[in-house]
Structure 1
C-alpha cells in the first residue's frame, strides 16, 4: 500500500491514457477488418485493408500518445532534435529501410502481387512492411521463372542500391524466344511456316491487348514497338538453319506456353519428313584409293 501511494500518479496517468488510446484504436481496427471480411471474400481486398488499417493505427497512436509523454518537455523541437540525432547514428539501416518504404508507397515501383527482380533475387511480392518486403522466390535451381517455394525478406533500403526490374507493371507482358535448329537439307521455308502458324495460334491474341497498353503508356513512358505480333527469324549457323520464334507471353505463363508450343512443333515436324532437327554429329571419311605420290 505504501509502495502504491509513493508511485508517481502523473506517470500512472500517462501509462493508462496511452493504453486506452492503443486499446480504442485496436478495437476500431478489429471492427473495420471484420466488416471488410463479411462483405468481401477477395484475399487481395482483405490484405490491403489489413495493411492500410495497421499503418493508420500506428500513425494515430503516435499522434495521440506522443503529446501525452511530451507535456513535460519544455520544447518539443529540442527533444525531437536530440532524439533524431541519436537515432540517425544508431539506426542508420532501419531509417534507410523506412525511407525506402516511403519511396515504395509514394512512387510505386512495384506493388503487392507484382513479379520483380532486385539484385540477384527474383519473385512475386507477397507482402510489404515498413522495414522490408517479402518475395516468393522464383528461379535459382528451378527453371523458367517458376517458384522455388522459398520466401525472401528484402530490406526496403535495397531499392536505392540495386536495380529493380518489374515484370508485370505497366506493359504486363515479356518477350520470349524459342530457337529451333533444323538441318541444311530440310525444307526450311516449310518449317518456318509451321512455326509461325503455331506461334500465332498460341500468342497472336495477345498482340492487340499489348498495343492498347503501349498506347495508354504513351504519356508516361517512351516505349516504341514496331511489331507486337509473333514472328520467326531465320539465321544460318554452323550445323544448320536456326529458326527463332519470338512472341509475347504472360510472365507467369512463360514455361507453360513454351511447353505447349514445343509439343505442337514436335507433332507438326513428325508429320513432315522433309523437316529434320539438327543436332551435333560427327562424320568419318575413308580414303580407299591412294592418290599418286601419296603413301599411308
Structure 2
C-alpha cells in the first residue's frame, strides 16, 4: 500500500480512538447520529407518502421510491461520516468511495466500448448478418457503442422467420459467449427436407422427383448467385449441388434432400420446394407415406 494511504488510515484510526477516549464528544456524536437517522427516516416516509398520494402510475411511483430511498441513504451516510470523522478526512473518504464506484461503473462501459471497436473494425460481424449467441438467434439491425440490436429469428417458431421482437444485448457479450455468424463472407447455409415412405413404396421414383426439383432450384436460384457474389465458392459448384440421401427407420424409408439456401430466404425456399415435390409424390399411386402407429392406453 502506498505510504500516503498508510498515513491517511493511521490518522483516521487515531482520530476515531481519540473521539472514543473523550466521553463528552463521544455521546454528542451518538446524539447527533440518532438525530440524523430520525430526520432522514421522517423525511423518507413523508416524501414517500406524498409520492403514493400524487403519482398514480405504479411503475413511475416505484421508480421514484427507489431513487428516493437511495438518495436518503447516501445523504444519511455522508452526514454520519461528517459527524464521526474530521471534515477533511470525511471528504477524502467520500472521494475514495466515489472513485471506487465510478471505476466499477466505468469498467462495464469501457468493456462495451472496447467490444464495439472489435466488432466494427475487426469486422466481427456487420448489420444484416444473422448471428446466434447465448441461445438467441437474430439479424443484426444496429450496433451502438454500448449495445447491439437483434431482430429475433425463430424464437419458438418452427420456421426461420422474424418474430418482430427486438433484442438488445451488451457489446461485451462477445467476450463471454460463443458466437455463430451467418451472412459474413458467405450468406449460404445448408438446409434439409425429408420424407418418410412406407417400405413397399417405389422410393426410386420418389428419388427422381425430389432430385429433379432440387437440381432445378439450384440452377435457377443458386448457381448464378454463386458466380456473381461468391467467387471462391463458385469454383466448387460440384460439391455445392443438392445432395440426395436414403435411409431407413422403424417407420419406413427416409428420403432427404440437402440443399444450399440464402439464410434470409430459408423458409421461402423450403415452401417452394415442398409445393413442387409434394403434389408429385401424392399423385404417384406407387408411393405411400409412412403412417406412424399411435397406441392409446386405456385405464
**TM-score using structure 2 length:** 0.60
Q: Relative to 1, partners in 2 of residues 1:159 and 1:217: Cα closer, same or farther, differing over 3 Å?
A: farther
| Contact in 1 for aligned 2:226/2:233 (Cα 8 Å) | no
Q: Does 1:156 align with 2:171?
A: yes
* 1:71-115 CA distance string (max 9 Å, x none): xxxxxxxxxxxx999854332211110110010111111111211
Q: Does 1:129 align with 2:141?
A: no
Partner in structure 1 of residue 206 of structure 2: 191
Partner in structure 2 of residue 237 of structure 1: 249
Structure number with higher helix proportion? 2
Q: For residues 1-296 of structure 1, what are the structure 2 equivalents within 5 Å?
A: 88-205=103-220, 206-207=222-223, 209-210=225-226, 215-216=231-232, 227-281=239-293
**TM-score using structure 1 length:** 0.60
Matched position secondary structure for 2:186: coil
Matched position secondary structure for 1:235: strand
Q: Number of aligned residue pairs: give it.
A: 197
Question: Which entry has the higher C-alpha Rg, 1 or 2?
Answer: 2
Distance in 2 (CA, whole Å) between partners of 1:228 and 1:126 is 29
Q: Relative to 1, partners in 2 of residues 1:217 and 1:237: Cα closer, same or farther, differing over 3 Å?
A: closer
Distance in 1 (CA, whole Å) between partners of 2:138 and 2:152 is 4
What value does the CA root-mean-square deviation take over the aligned residues?
Answer: 2.8
| Contact in 2 for aligned 1:207/1:228 (Cα 8 Å) | no
| Contact in 1 for aligned 2:154/2:163 (Cα 8 Å) | yes
Gaps of 5+ in 2: 1-97
Gaps of 5+ in 1: 1-82, 219-223, 284-296
Distance in 2 (CA, whole Å) between partners of 1:172 and 1:141 is 23
| Contact in 1 for aligned 2:116/2:145 (Cα 8 Å) | yes
